[in-house]
Amino acid sequence: MPQDGVERIFYTSLMTVLIGLGYAFALVALIAFSGRRMTARLGVLWGAAGFVTTALAPGLGLPPELPGMLAAEVQARQIWWFLTVVLTGLGLWLIFLSDRQVLMGVGIIALIIPHVIGAPHPHHGGGSGVPPELAAQFATASLAMAAVFWCVLGAIAGSIWHRMDHATQGEGN
């Protein structure tokens, strides 16, 4: 375990940057796979979809938690989060990038499935040592920062994609 202070801040910052890079690679790969033209404005929409997929939809069942809060087993939460991310991403893809109404309907069902299953919660009763107001503020701030992160990431990715696309087209002329 890292020591409190500089060491903990360093490792937390490092992991935050690495996770951000991973999300950026995933976002760019999905944009490439879609075959769609890209701009900064469209990138923001892709970023918003990333936010909904990785933060908002999972946060409906498992809101961001502070240390000391009661929680279900880590593995059960991770499995539910992963299922929610995959199904939400698939659902949004089918709804917004499919031309067929049947696939759009499948997308809506994919969005609903994780929430019908329900997120895992602790089986034991008892209260948490964390005041509910503080937990709510933390969840709200975490989701707001995730929204800003994803929209900025999408705008940057879309802008760079658009510039590279124009540079490539200019070389061919």
Contact 51, 151 (CB under 8 A): yes
Q: What is the mean pLDDT of residues 6-35?
A: 94
Evaluate if residue 69 carries a pLDDT over 90: no
Evaluate if residue 172 carries a pLDDT over 60: no
Evaluate if residue 126 carries a pLDDT over 70: no
pLDDT at res. 29:
95
pLDDT at res. 4:
84
pLDDT at res. 117:
96
Distance CA 51, CA 45 (A): 10
Domain locations in the chain as residue ranges: 36-172
Is pTM beyond 0.85? Reply is yes
